Chains A and B, each alone.
Chain A
Amino acid sequence: MTTRHDTAAPPSKGGAAPGRGPGAPASPGEARKRARLSRRWQRDLRWSPYAFVSPFFLLFAAFGLFPLIYTGWASLHTVELTAPTDMEWTGLDNFTRIFDDEFFWNAAQNTLTIGIISTVPQLLMAMGLAHILNYKLRGSTFYRVVMLAPYATSIAAASLVFVLLFGRDYGMINWTLDLVGLDKIDWQSDKWPSQIAVSSIVIWRWTGYNALIYLAAMQAIPQDLYESAALDGASRWRQFIHVTLPQLRPTILFTVVVSTIGASQLFGEPLLFDANKGASGGSQHQFQTLGLYLYEQGWVNQHLGRASAIAWTMFLILIVIGIVNYVISRRLRASS
């Protein structure tokens, strides 16, 4: 076994290996060797944790933190897409330019409304679905995997199918509406229908995933909480309200934060929902999100500086939302 710990054996195990110093007397050489091994051992204990975490932090610094900060720097410059290394200082011009642009506010509004239309029903349905999946079911694994199939489908594939399903003239959805005697809806050109259609892609892809997260949290709730609630005469519904929901609060907060971040970044779905209009998000910008607006400014109009300003504005908005979220959840916890 000794061969196994040759690299960093603790001094107590120091074997009788020949000393390295030529002709050195046995006992001082041995002592020195022990000291060296012990030092190496200490060094290993002390520094290896840093060695283990450093690859992540180096990569994060290079591809996460640096770009984030540099975006802020670039937002204060004029940068053309065609010559991204030529930067000219402009101060806050990019920001004032954006805030004067009605399409920025339009995009901000669309991001908010699409975010609400997609997140709220999605999380509510996920909660209901999780509740059902938490019953004793035959084939429960099957349902869980099936609910996850949309998550495995890419944004591109899902968006392109939904474009066909939402087609004005030959789409399945309008055909169904027609069948039950309702008017056909122009899902692409009208503002609210188009936003609902884009949101439905998001809802379809993420409901099952969130349901699984809620389900996992529900299964972790201790059984005796329900038992004592039942002893107190609480109905199923009251148990759900007074036991399940409070216990799920951290999970709900987690999904709300993740969904909010996702909604603020919405890009692929609206881009592909009208592939020929591309970055403008519909002929009247009716479903242009901030993500699309950023892309339009940076890659269609070729103003990377302005796009950076949009990115930083989004970042600040997210921070504000995060703080508000934190305060609200603090309040809720305090009040209960």
Chain B
Amino acid sequence: MTTTLTKPPAEPVPEPPRRGRRGPKSARAGGQMHAGPVAYIILALFTIGSLFPLVWTAIAASRDNQRLAQTPPPFWFGGNLLDKIEIAWTDANMGEAILNTTIVAGISAVTVVFLSTIAGFAFAKLKFRGRNALMLIVVGTMMIPPQLSIIPLYMMVAKLDWTDQLQAVIFPSLVSAFGVFFMRQYLLQALPDEIIEAARVDGASSWRVVWHVVFPAARPAMAVLGMLIFVQVWNDFLWPFLVLTQNGNPTVQVAVAGLGRGFTPDQALIMGGALLGTLPLLLVFAIFGKQIVGGIMQGAVKG
């Protein structure tokens, strides 16, 4: 008995229920009615509405200024797509920007996931004084918009001489009350108390419990949270815009925003840059879309 419980990496906690705590699929309400043609038509409209601006970004990027200053606007691809993307890549620093953003979002995602998992575990499964009060603070923190803190943060960055450096963007993005909340909600239902107790009886320290029991059990939620944080940091606009400049370590958003300036900007080039900055995330969504959707919905039910 004990041997199986002390080596969880080989035999992790059983796959937690995907549907939340309300029970099996049959408990889904309202979803049994088959959709009629009207529903499909509305869905088709929403699909077009969601995708059209993205597709048109590519169409515009494949044209040039002259063509974009004519009516009717282009509805199909021209021949300039690769040229424009190449110019955006080299002249507008998009290559460097994508690398920078990958570094920033990657470090943030990994750190936030790690810290949120251990904190979420403590809030979900450990008893300690002040637990409820501290959890209340976490939830309250979710309601504070980051914009209210930017001025002192800006002063800090100026004082530390971090302007144009990636750590200026990384550090503030490590705070995620949402992450703690998300992991707590997940571990509450996905990690049975008995398993922790069994590990305790075996003499596992708290840290060992985290490493060998909590992490394996939390893996699906950790992956989803990591992707959500990655997307959020990748798309963050205001703060990078303030502390990074186009020529000093821009993130994708800073570089793309910089494309739009000037009085006769090359519209096709702007669209090329925008497309380039969006493609990596769209790719992630195309591959992991199902998991991301599941994660957002899972976080929502208990939210």
Contact = CB atoms under 8 A, between A and B. Distances in A.
Given A50-B128, A134-B30, A153-B54, A55 B119 contact: yes
Contact of B203 (A9, A84, A219): A9
B271 A221 contact: no
Interface stretch (B9-17, B77-85, B216-224, B259-267): B259-267
Give the most central of B29, B56, B116, B126: most A CB within 10 Å. Answer: B29
A7 B208 contact: yes
Contact of A5 (B46, B115, B202): B202
Interface string B251-286: 011001101111101010011001101100110111
B141 A64 contact: yes
A84 B243 CA distance: 14
B285 A132 contact: no
Nearest to B231: A152
Interface residues of A, number: 114
A172 interface: yes
B293 A141 contact: yes
A206 B242 CA distance: 24
A116 interface: no
B126 A148 contact: no
Nearest to A215: B297
Given A71-B148, A314-B148, A56 B115 contact: yes
Nearest to A267: B238
A136 to B, nearest CB: 5
Contacts of A143: 43, 46-47
Given A5-B203, A157-B277, A170 B29 contact: no
Contacts of A5: 202-204
B56 A161 contact: yes
Interface in A36-54: 44-46, 48-53
B73 A216 contact: no
A311 B156 CA distance: 17
A112 interface: no
B152 A74 contact: yes
A157 B256 contact: yes
B177 interface: yes
A99 interface: no
Dominant SS among interface residues on chain A: helix
A175 B72 contact: yes
Interface residues of B, number: 118
A164 B68 contact: yes
B49 to A, nearest CB: 7
Nearest to A209: B296
Contact of A155 (B68, B177, B235): B235
B87 interface: no
Interface in B5-51: 6, 19-20, 22, 26-35, 39, 42-43, 46-47, 49-51
A150 interface: yes
Interface string A196-230: 00000000100011001101111111110110000
Nearest to A157: B274
Nearest to B35: A135
A63 B149 contact: yes
Contacts of B152: 66-67, 70-71, 74
A160 B267 CA distance: 9
Contacts of B171: 59, 63
B99 interface: no
A315 B140 CA distance: 13
B49 A204 contact: yes
Nearest to A261: B145
Contacts of B128: 46, 49-50
B283 to A, nearest CB: 10
A89 interface: no
B207 A48 contact: yes
A216 B300 contact: yes
A135 B257 CA distance: 40
A8 B278 CA distance: 49
24 contacts: A5-B204, A8-B208, A48-B207, A50-B128, A52-B119, A56-B116, A56-B119, A67-B150, A84-B159, A85-B155, A132-B42, A145-B286, A149-B50, A150-B50, A153-B235, A154-B234, A154-B252, A157-B277, A161-B54, A164-B267, A165-B53, A204-B50, A219-B301, A226-B29
Given A133-B43, A137-B35, A148-B285, 10 more contacts: A59-B171, A59-B175, A63-B153, A84-B155, A160-B270, A170-B69, A204-B50, A212-B297, A213-B296, A311-B148
The 7 closest A-B pairs by CB, nearest first: A5-B203, A145-B289, A67-B149, A216-B297, A48-B206, A135-B35, A157-B274
